[in-house]
Amino acid sequence: MHERILIIDFGSQVTQLIARRVRESGIYSEIQPFNSVTIETIREFNPKGVILSGGPASVTATDTPRAPDGLFTMGLPVLGICYGEQTMCAQLGGKVEESNHREFGRAFVNVVDDCELFHGVWKVGSKEQVWMSHGDKIDAIPDGFRAVAISDGSPFAAIANDEKKFYGLQFHPEVVHTPHGAKLIENFTHRVCGCSGDWTMQSFKDEEIKKVREQVGDGKVICGLSGGVDSSVVAVLLHEAIGEQLTCVFVDTGMMRKNEAEEVVSMFRDNYKIKLVHRDAADLFIDRLEGVSDPEKKRKIIGSTFIDVFEEEAKNIGGADFLAQGTLYPDVIESVSFTGGPSVTIKSHHNVGGLPERMNMQLVEPLRELFKDEVRILGRELGLPENFVGRHPFPGPGLAIRLPGGVTREKLEILRNADAVYLEEIKNAGLYDIIWQAFAVLLPVQTVGVMGDARTYDFVCAVRAVTSTDGMTADFYHFDMEFLAQLSNRIINEVPGINRVVYDITSKPPGTIEWE
């Protein structure tokens, strides 16, 4: 078994980043919510060390979350981050108090003593940039600890108990705004916990192939292939594991980008020789969407039509024992909610939920432990071409949610053409890999223009481009004006039906990435 680090989640917005940093240091890690973790679950997981995440609660209130007390007598190294540091202090006999000197955002710490976590990166006497986000402060540290870094707001910005291998950081080393944070985490996993870094994508791939073979035996598997990175990686991994036992189903919803259906089919059927059913269901989808302009209704219609079609095709191939899906780790983590109650649905996401029960299939989810960027690395490991692995995300409901106001064949055609010109320009400018996602939206608005000597009365096209790491937050991309000028010219000249182009300068939040 690989070396592992356990992260106990106290509800910080950035807990997932801790797991990513640990994995980047070559160690497998998992997150368990504080309210389900016990000494038994820790023993069962068998980690080389434990990290306590930050969180929104205050240690000073009664009844706030704690690490299981027994954790501190298991002989395991522990790193407490922010709330994690505070609860560790409170649980080991230190003192935490509310502070009127809150620290949020960029801050500086002074390194006052040597520490294993700082090895090779922070020296005594140096001033280092970090990211803080805390209201409470530690007033007294438990016996056996010493302060190794201080800041204006925290006399105990970093603390160490070398004998027990307990460390605490008041700041967040997992975010990029703490420039040496990744190194501090690597020092914890390697130098303090003694890990060697045995987790690589090559080893993950080999193990996952073995697991799939064991799970599936000689059963039949179907996999919905959309052409997106996740489902493509699942398909190729499964093909390598079980060959002919896999059938992929590509449902062309008619909402795909230009030439997409042909590219996906030729890539998988012709290059990989994967058994692939290509169902052209464009008419069915477009007919069912006729006259519908409410975004949620559109999403629901597309979702249920997709399931109907997929079910038909699954029956056509004589059914299957397993359904393969590209579920990722962020979808699996049980996130800790302090507000209680369900969170608000912003958008209904498109998936094949409900189908496995209806068809009595079990799920195969080989990407359940991975983050999006790790899926890309796995894709490369599996030999998928760069133009598939590096593709921008594309939503299940496709172009339908980029046509506010209603879907028609004519509008789909105009949008598809504008989108193709836009992506071509982005690729020509060498910006495709810098931008996380870019697409055109066709607005249900016509405006007056003049082309040649004639009056035009055509649609407005909005273009969107964002940078992001995970799609949860995003910034609009700052294009050069020359680029936008040339783009506008090309779209208006080359795409009949559009006579005006606008650029969307909204970040997320408050906007979402897609318009619907």
Work out how close the CB of 393 gets to ligand XMP at its nearest, in angstroms, rounded to a whole number. 4
Residue number, 77 or 395, with CB nearest to ligand XMP: 395
Tell me the C-alpha distance between 113 and 12, whole Å: 28
The residue from 397, 403, 421, 501 that contacts ligand XMP (CB under 6 A) is 397
- Binding to ligand XMP (CB under 6 A): which residues in 435-464? 437
**What count of residues does the chain have?**
516
* Cis peptide upstream of residue 342 (ω within 30 degrees of 0): no
The Cβ of residue 347 has, within 10 Å, a number of other Cβ atoms equal to: 14
Q: What 3-state DSSP class applies to 368?
A: coil
For 300-432, strand residue ranges (E) read 322-324, 362-364
Does 325 engage in binding with ligand XMP (CB under 6 A)? no
Does 395 engage in binding with ligand XMP (CB under 6 A)? yes
Which window, 63-71, 167-175, 342-350, 368-376, contacts ligand XMP (CB under 6 A)? 342-350
Residue number, 127 or 349, with CB nearest to ligand XMP: 349
**Tokens (6 digits) for 235:** 């398909």
Which window, 54-62, 345-353, 448-456, 485-493, contacts ligand XMP (CB under 6 A)? 345-353
Cβ-in-10-Å burial (0-12, 13-18, 19+) of 143 comes to exposed
Work out how close the CB of 248 gets to ligand XMP at its nearest, in angstroms, rounded to a whole number. 17
Residue number, 86 or 437, with CB nearest to ligand XMP: 437
**Contact yes or no for 119/187 (Cβ under 8 A):** yes
Does 300 engage in binding with ligand XMP (CB under 6 A)? no
DSSP category for residue 193: S
Amino acid at 43: R
Residue number, 349 or 409, with CB nearest to ligand XMP: 349
Tell me the C-alpha distance between 471 and 469, whole Å: 6
Annotated active-site residue 357? The verdict is no
Q: What 3-state DSSP class applies to 399?
A: helix
What count of Cα atoms within 13 Å lies in the side-chain half-sphere of residue 163? 5
Residue number, 347 or 490, with CB nearest to ligand XMP: 347
- Binding to ligand XMP (CB under 6 A): which residues in 236-255? none
Torsion of CA 347, 351, 357, 359, to 10 degrees: 140
Work out how close the CB of 348 gets to ligand XMP at its nearest, in angstroms, rounded to a whole number. 7
Q: Which of 134, 172, 239, 350 is catalytic?
A: 172
- Binding to ligand XMP (CB under 6 A): which residues in 473-512? 508, 512
Residue number, 145 or 394, with CB nearest to ligand XMP: 394
Q: Which of 174, 208, 369, 516 is catalytic?
A: 174
Binding-residue pattern over the window 365 to 394 for ligand XMP, x denoting contact by CB under 6 A: ----------------------------x-
Q: What 3-state DSSP class applies to 117?
A: helix
Residue number, 220 or 350, with CB nearest to ligand XMP: 350
Q: What 3-state DSSP class applies to 247?
A: strand
The residue from 349, 358, 409, 455 that contacts ligand XMP (CB under 6 A) is 349
Annotated active-site residue 172? The verdict is yes
Residue number, 42 or 438, with CB nearest to ligand XMP: 438
Residue of 481, 456, 478, 468 whose CA lies nearest to 514 = 468
The residue from 119, 347, 368, 380 that contacts ligand XMP (CB under 6 A) is 347
The residue from 350, 376, 411, 500 that contacts ligand XMP (CB under 6 A) is 350
Q: Which long-range contacts (CB under 8 A, 24 or more apart) does 381-388 make?
A: 381/201, 381/202, 381/205, 382/205, 382/233, 382/236, 382/237, 382/240, 383/236, 384/232, 384/233, 384/236, 385/267, 388/227, 388/229, 388/232, 388/267
Q: Which residues of 193-214 are buried (b: 16+ CB within 10 A; e: fewer)?
A: bebeeebebeebbeebbeebee
Residue of 503, 201, 224 whose CA lies nearest to 370 = 201
The residue from 396, 417, 464, 465 that contacts ligand XMP (CB under 6 A) is 396
Residue number, 133 or 253, with CB nearest to ligand XMP: 253
Q: Which of 82, 115, 195, 248 is catalytic?
A: 82
**Contact yes or no for 425/433 (Cβ under 8 A):** no
**Contact yes or no for 22/47 (Cβ under 8 A):** no
The residue from 471, 486, 490, 497 that contacts ligand XMP (CB under 6 A) is 471
Annotated active-site residue 410? The verdict is no
The Cβ of residue 485 has, within 10 Å, a number of other Cβ atoms equal to: 12
Contact residues for ligand XMP, defined by CB under 6 A: 347, 349-350, 393, 395-397, 437, 471, 508, 512-514
Active site residues: 82, 172, 174
